Structure formats: structure tokens, C-alpha cells
Amino acid sequence: MITIKSPREIEDMAKSGAIIAGMHVALRDIIKPGISSWKIEEFCKNYIESHGAIPEQIGFEGYKYATCVSVNDEICHGFPRKDLILKDGDLVKVDTVVNYKGAMSDSCWSYVVGKSTPEVDKLMAVTKKALYLGIDQAQVGNRLGDIGAAIQHYTEDEMGYGDVREFVGHGIGPTMHESPNVPHYGEAGHGLRLREGMTITIEPMINMGTWEAEMDDPNGWTARTADGSLSCQFEHTIAITKDGPKILTSQDPEMDAPYLLK
């Protein structure tokens, strides 16, 4: 079911989004060579709870952790691990969902550990730009295919990367995952028409090589690139409004000024 949110509900989701954004900003000083991915889990869980919120992923379909921490060729749903020690050049994706007094927000961000490489820097820049190209299409009256087509054309046709098909964005609030699905590929002018008051995630997962994923990890959750190439992801929760798309999980009020609630 698709739920249409009132302005008050969207404002509440922005309060939830501010918590998740603050967590991601703080992670910039936490993620460094020599720490385990479990330290990221501990930090995020404590941050969310210390701000009066609930890490909503815990218990979702049996998932045990507050975060997904996916490294290098892991596309998504990587488990935080005490024995996974981060090193220079690792590409780390941290994804979580925050429930603040019943209002949901969802955001994944990518980080390079220590010293980066030009290849990683480029993949991260392309993926972040793809996110914003998708957000720009999230206008009242546009269709879901407009979002996916903008992302796919840029990442695959222009940049030669792989645009993951197996995982998509989604509606959010009052539950963590709800309709509609929001693919990051597709055909402009096709799909569900966007309406004022819808709240969705846009979360492109872009691979340096093939778009295809392997999902045979023994843990039953983690997806990896089929060719072992690096994968990157950026995700915002947004609201569809008469004044355009509004980012509810912004980490940069200056850069995101046109996308913020007034």
C-alpha cells in the first residue's frame, strides 16, 4: 500500500532524517584503517539510541544488526563483523533505518577508508551524482521510470558502469518498506505517477563492472558483484512535494539547500 503523508508527518520524518544524517557525518571521523566493521555497528547503534530513536533494522525479517556494513565488492546487506578489519582504500557502505517516535528515515552512505585511489573517487562521485539526477526527477506528475531512466542513462550509457537491478528503492513510513518499488533503471515516461505527499528512498547501487549480483552468501543476506568489482551506494529519503523533491536525510544543508523543507 502507498501512504500519502501530511506536511506534519513529513516534518516528523525530517526529524528522524536529521538523526541518521548526523550519524553519517560523525562516521567520517570513525571510519579509518585498523578498525573493524563491528565498531561501525556499535557506534551507529549507540548514536541512534542516544538520540531517542530506534535502530529499525534490528529484527526486520530476522536481521540482527542496526546497520548493514558492506565492503568493496559487497553490494548491500553486509553483516558487521569483528574480524573484518578495514584498510586503506576499502570502500565501505553503511546503511541503516531510524525510527524516531514512529517516523522513519533510511539512508546509506559510502566512505573510503584512509587513502583513496582515483578509481574509487570516480566511482563514488558518479554514484552520488546519479542519486541527485534521480532526485531531480522526483517531481509531482513524473513517473517512477523517469527516476530510473535518468540514473541508468548516466551510469551505464555515459560512464560505462553497472547499474544494479536486483535491489531498488521503496516507499517508506509508517513502515520501513512499503510500496512503491523505486527502480534505478527503466524507461522514461513509464511506471507509477508520482503524487504529492509520497515519501520514497532513492538509493542507486553502482558497480565498477557488471550490474549483475551474486546472492549465494551463506548468511542468506549479503549480495556481491558477480565479477568481484567494487560497488558503491548513496541513498536519501525524500518527500514528493508541490515545491519539488525534498531530501529528509540531508547531511549538507548548503549543498542541499534547494531540496530542503522550508
| Stated pTM of the model | 0.97
Residue from 22, 241, 260, 255 nearest 129 by CA: 255
Q: Which amino acid is residue 153, in one-letter code? A: H
- In this structure, what are the phi and psi dihedrals at residue 135, rounded to the nearest 5 degrees? -60, -40
Per-residue pLDDT at 87 = 98
Per-residue pLDDT at 96 = 98
The mean per-residue pLDDT over the stretch 136-155 comes to: 98
- In this structure, what are the phi and psi dihedrals at residue 106, rounded to the nearest 5 degrees? -140, 130
Per-residue pLDDT at 262 = 86
Return the CATH number of the domain spanning residue range 7-259: 3.90.230.10
How many degrees, rounded to 5, is the angle at CA 124 between CA 23 and CA 53? Answer: 15
Contact 152, 187 (CB under 8 A): no
Report the percentage of the chain scoring pLDDT > 90.
Answer: 99
Residue from 8, 20, 15, 98 nearest 53 by CA: 98
pLDDT in tens, 28-37: 999 999 999 9
The mean per-residue pLDDT over the stretch 236-260 comes to: 98
Q: Which residues are annotated as a binding site for substrate?
A: 77, 177
Q: Quote the mean pLDDT of the chain.
A: 97
Q: Which residues are annotated as a binding site?
A: 77, 95, 106, 170, 177, 203, 235
The mean per-residue pLDDT over the stretch 186-211 comes to: 98
pLDDT band at 149 (very low <50, low <70, confident <90, very high): very high
Q: Reduce the DSSP state of residue 105 to 3 states and report it.
A: strand
Helix, strand, coil percentages for the chain (3-state, nearest 5):
30, 25, 45
Residue 226: which residues within 8 A CB-CB, separation 6 or more?
Answer: 210, 212, 213, 214
Q: Which residues are annotated as a binding site for a divalent metal cation?
A: 95, 106, 170, 203, 235
Report the percentage of the chain scoring pLDDT > 70.
Answer: 100
Give the start-to-end residue ranges of the domains of the chain: 7-259
pLDDT in tens, 53-99: 999 999 999 999 999 999 999 999 999 999 999 999 999 999 999 99
Q: Which amino acid is residue 185, in one-letter code? A: Y
The mean per-residue pLDDT over the stretch 148-152 comes to: 98
On the question of pLDDT at 1 being above 90, the answer is: no
The mean per-residue pLDDT over the stretch 232-244 comes to: 98
